Chain A
Amino acid sequence: MTLVLILFFVFLLAGMPVAFAIGIAGFAFFLQESYLPLTMPVQLILSETQAFALLAIPMFVFAGNLMNETGITKRLMEFASVLTGHMHGGIAQVSVVLSTLMGGVSGSAIADASMQSRILGPSMTARGYARGYSAAVNGFTGLITIAIPPSIGLVLYGSIGEVSVGRLLAGGMVPGLLMALAFGTTVSITARKKGYMPEREKRAPAKDVGRTFMSSIWAMLFPIFLLVTLRGGLLVPSEAGAMAAVYAVVVGALIYREMDWKGFWRATKASVGDTGTIMLLIALSALVSYAIKWEMIPQTLSGFLLGISDNPTVITAVILLFLLFFGMFMDSTVMILLLTSILVPVIKTLGINPVFFGVVMVLSCAIGLLTPPVGISMYSVCSIMECSVGEYLREGWPFLVAVLLVVVLLVLFPQLVLFLPNLLFG
């Protein structure tokens, strides 16, 4: 197992694609344990593709890409700017609201951050916003997307940890809105200080709000549609994902009439790319996951954590600090893939609710996407905004503080996470 870890980090730092780094390191475990045949890695890799629950991931990704082809983004943007144009730091507020609204369509923080840096970034720079500030706003608000359903991270956690995905998705809703509130407040304070002026003097007329609201309602209904179909087991998450894809086609082709065969194929191609990257990572990490179980590491860790304290809040805090620390160096998907099967049994013995824990765990892992030295979202927004990491950090630290405060709030009041799933699922 030590060899596996060493190889993983060596390959990772040598710039090998993460999926191969983890796959080859895991393969080494089977070379090392002579009684395990080398056909087993093949079997384990394949098994990941044969888990019906994991199909929810490509389905949600596909639905999101199809939704993008309906021209929904520009409608949502219009609505967001009508809502927030009169506030200080108007476009930055648009980014907050847009991430919240897009959250129901996209399940990836990285995609959301880079997309909004591209579409909002140039106008922010033109209005005199510091590049680092725009990078930070677009980057951090992407985190809202992973909490509001659908969420790839929560589907992964639920499938691996055998926790109800429906409850997890519902559990992400309130934290997502809390983050929107926290980031909105942060923008208000920082924009006033920096003198980023509102876009217009007064609130937009109710008529405009109504019109833009109606024109983007189909995207906003999307997460609600998901939760309603998942509620009470009418559909399982993979089926809800398939229905969502069909929903997007119906909205695009029949309601907005903007989707044609070309657009459909573009969405399919984009989904093939997304599925290929995430599924190769998931499939190849099965080898290390197996090694972890074979060596009974969760059982050992459980004993260790119980030795620290038996207070659920303390243990949750310890685990989250650990996740935040490792998140600085590791990819969030890899962390969810490897750590869920270790941590879920542990927190269950400690009486920590696995739905609550899933939401805070996935969020904590994702914060690492925005922090140096290794943060994919951070690098992508910085490269799009053409700013240095130093500049990004100087402007962006209030947003980091805001999201950490949200995590602290959730840990202290787990009901914020559990309220909605309990209401919907009983």
Chain B
Amino acid sequence: MDFLKKAYKFIIEWEERLAGITLVASVLVVMAGAVGRIIGYPLGWSMDMATFLFAWTVFFAADAAWRDNKHVSLDILVRLLPKRAQLIVHMCNHVIIGIFLALLIRYGISMSWITRFRTYQGIPGFSYTWATITVPIGSTLLLITAVLKLRDLIAEYRAARADTVDPKQSIQG
């Protein structure tokens, strides 16, 4: 368990860093492509390289953002419910999201296999699969986040229930 915790800490630390690095790299590649064309040395690979890097940025960044609760949601209706009902709705949401992500992982692996011969047009010999695997890998990261959020929700629900039974035993905070 301790190893898993360490591994996860490592992942979340590097996830944001890698997202940042690939973002900066794609800025530089796009700029190199533009400058190259203007001065008469067009780089055939720059557009494809930029979008390839960006695929990695997107999925790392999407997970980093979810862990920071940055994804927009609409909770005005849910907030009208009693606390415990709210938590149940959120738990359901996370279970559904988890199933969706698991399907994306399953079929993302298939898709990565299918695209193995497809290459980037501008980078001959560079397999498109290096981009395709961002979907199953990104979905795995998101799935971990979903599971951890679900775990927190369950803990909160238990605490809320304990609250109503005996306020003194509350472990909230």
Interface residues of A (CB under 8 A from B): 11-21, 23-24, 27, 37-39, 41-43, 45-46, 49-52, 55, 58-59, 62, 234-236, 238-239, 241-243, 245-246, 265, 268-269, 271-273, 275-277, 279-281, 283, 331, 373-374, 376
Contacts and interface: CB of A to CB of B under 8 A. Distances in A.
A279 B61 contact: yes
Interface stretch (B3-11, B70-78, B161-169): B70-78
B164 to A, nearest CB: 22
B134 A52 contact: no
Contacts of B108: 42
B150 interface: no
A12 B73 CA distance: 7
- Best-surrounded residue of A49, A51, A273 (most CB of chain B within 10 A): A49
A275 B50 CA distance: 15
**Of listed A15, A19, A283, residue having the most chain B CB within 10 A:** A15
B65 A239 contact: no
Interface string B6-30: 0000000000100110011011101
A265 B20 contact: yes
Among B27, B72, B78, the most chain A Cβ lie within 10 Å of the Cβ of B27
B90 A59 contact: no
B57 A58 contact: yes
Nearest to A238: B30
Contacts of B72: 17-19, 277, 281, 331, 376
Interface residues of B, number: 58
B52 to A, nearest CB: 8
A91 B124 CA distance: 58
Contacts of B160: none
A24 B74 CA distance: 16
Contact of B57 (A18, A38, A41, A272): A272
A210 to B, nearest CB: 34
Nearest to B61: A276
A242 B107 contact: no
Contacts of A55: 26, 30, 50-51, 54
Contacts of B114: 39
A326 to B, nearest CB: 14
Contact of B58 (A59, A242, A283, A376): A283
